[in-house]
């Protein structure tokens, strides 16, 4: 398939600091997931019973630094307000005031060639670049702020007709306390303009306080990743893929120290099946190089995208690279795409960088 690349062009992009992120996603638009790899199982269920109510969300029994904090559910069946997602309580009323996101044809892209031999070299360069990144150490009482642009692809059923649609690219802002117990989310189409509170009885997987306790020796870190991701992965998700996804979560919406970020890339280089991709495009149309791994079970390749010159982390996407039986997703479909636009440490759970506390 030779699909046209998806390249949205927002009016403005700012990056206040070159700070690498990490794991948690409080409620990512369009993919609400525990493991993205559970998508195919849910799709098959939806195709069998398209009008059946969504399955209940079950909170995991324990927290760990490599746990995705949201569960993928069909968009039509997911109730955001008042839900409990992976132990995170979402509050803030009945969700009144939120505006539905426009949808259109499925996002598509050209599939970049995979290079297994080039992956270790690229990851070594990325690790060295990450080690040079320095940012202010957060102080007690502060919050980690992450702003991004995201879009997802899902099945929509109207009048017994099911089709694949993609959301319009939209804004997402997340604040998380250092201990992971409190936060705030503002996301177009998912919350009101004011947003909603996020709270948890146990530390969130992206909590800065938890990340600083992780080992920075790549071998020990990878052992920890395999152990903790294996404890919560779906049985249909291969062990190596679960570990790769776990590291990817540690690169998206949090704030690990530079030495941990560097160790994560070195750990990723030790996972079988990891490849380099010469050209990949993030949600904002920025071209970069990618580190990726394909999950043969659902035919999707998860790509971490980096600036070609600076090797700064730009975002990630999931692309269908192999047609799977009974799947409505064609090769070249982008099932999720994101682009980090701003990253900072702020003094309050609703403060925007540059704004007085």
**% residues pLDDT > 70 (the chain):** 71
Mean pLDDT score of the chain, rounded to an integer?
77
Q: Is the pLDDT of residue 63 over 90?
A: no
Q: Provide the pLDDT confidence category of residue 252 given band limits of 50, 70 and 90.
A: confident
Within 13 Å of residue 5, how many CA atoms lie on the same side as its CB? 16
Least confident span in 207-221, 246-260, 334-348:
246-260
The C-alpha atoms of residue 281 and residue 5 are separated, in whole angstroms, by: 8
H helices within 104-199, ranges in order?
118-131
- Cα(297)–Cα(329) distance, integer angstroms: 13
- This prediction's pTM: 0.76
pLDDT at 38: 40
Q: What is the mean pLDDT of residues 106-131?
A: 97
Confidence (pLDDT) at 206 = 67
Q: Read off the pLDDT of residues 273-307 as tens digits, 9 standing for 90 and up.
A: 999 999 999 999 999 999 999 999 899 999 999 99
Summarize the confidence of residues 59-84 as an average pLDDT: 29
pLDDT tens digit sequence for 33-51: 333 334 343 434 444 444 3
pLDDT in tens, 120-169: 999 999 999 999 987 889 999 999 999 999 999 999 988 888 899 999 99
Three-state DSSP at 56 gives coil
How confident is the model over 299-353, as pLDDT tens digits?
999 999 999 999 999 999 999 999 999 889 999 999 999 999 999 999 999 999 9
CA 107 to chain centre: 17
pLDDT at 115: 97
The backbone torsions φ and ψ at residue 295, rounded to the nearest 5 degrees and listed phi first, read -100, 110
Q: How confident is the model at residue 230 (pLDDT cuts 50, 70, 90)?
A: confident
| CA of residue 295 relative to chain centroid, distance | 16
Cβ-based neighbours of 283, under 8 Å, separated by 6 or more: 8, 148, 149, 150, 151, 169, 315, 317, 337, 338, 339
pLDDT band at 249 (very low <50, low <70, confident <90, very high): confident
């Amino acid at each position: 398939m030779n699909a046209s690349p998806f390249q949205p062009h927002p009016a403005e992009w700012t990056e206040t600091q070159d700070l690498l992120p990490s794991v948690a996603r409080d409620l990512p638009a369009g993919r609400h997931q525990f493991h993205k790899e559970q998508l195919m199982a849910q799709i098959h269920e939806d195709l069998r019973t398209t009008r059946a109510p969504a399955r209940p969300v079950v909170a995991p029994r324990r927290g760990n630094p490599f746990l995705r904090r949201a569960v993928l559910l069909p968009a039509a069946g997911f109730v955001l307000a008042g839900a409990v997602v992976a132990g995170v309580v979402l509050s803030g009323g009945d969700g009144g005031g939120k505006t539905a996101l426009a949808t259109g044809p499925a996002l598509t892209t050209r599939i970049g060639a995979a290079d297994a031999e080039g992956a270790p070299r690229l990851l070594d360069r990325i690790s060295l670049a990450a080690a040079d990144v320095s940012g202010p150490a957060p102080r007690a009482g502060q919050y980690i702020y992450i702003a991004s642009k995201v879009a997802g692809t899902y099945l929509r059923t109207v009048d017994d007709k099911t089709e694949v649609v993609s959301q319009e690219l939209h804004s997402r802002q997340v604040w998380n306390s250092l201990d992971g117990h409190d936060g705030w989310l503002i996301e177009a189409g998912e919350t009101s303009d004011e947003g909603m509170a996020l709270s948890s009885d146990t530390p969130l997987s992206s909590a800065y306080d938890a990340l600083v306790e992780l080992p920075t020796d790549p071998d020990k870190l990878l052992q920890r990743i395999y152990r903790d991701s294996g404890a919560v992965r779906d049985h249909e998700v291969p062990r190596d893929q679960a570990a790769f996804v776990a590291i990817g979560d540690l690169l998206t919406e949090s704030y690990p120290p530079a030495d941990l970020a560097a160790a994560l890339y070195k750990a990723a280089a030790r996972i079988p099946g990891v490849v380099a991709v010469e050209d990949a495009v993030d949600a904002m149309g920025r071209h970069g190089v990618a580190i990726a791994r394909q999950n043969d079970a659902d035919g999707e390749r998860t790509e971490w995208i980096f600036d070609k010159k600076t090797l700064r982390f730009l975002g990630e996407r999931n692309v269908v690279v192999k047609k799977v039986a009974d799947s409505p997703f064609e090769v070249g479909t982008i099932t999720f795409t994101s682009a980090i636009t701003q990253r900072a440490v702020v003094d309050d759970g609703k403060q925007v960088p540059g704004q007085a506390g």
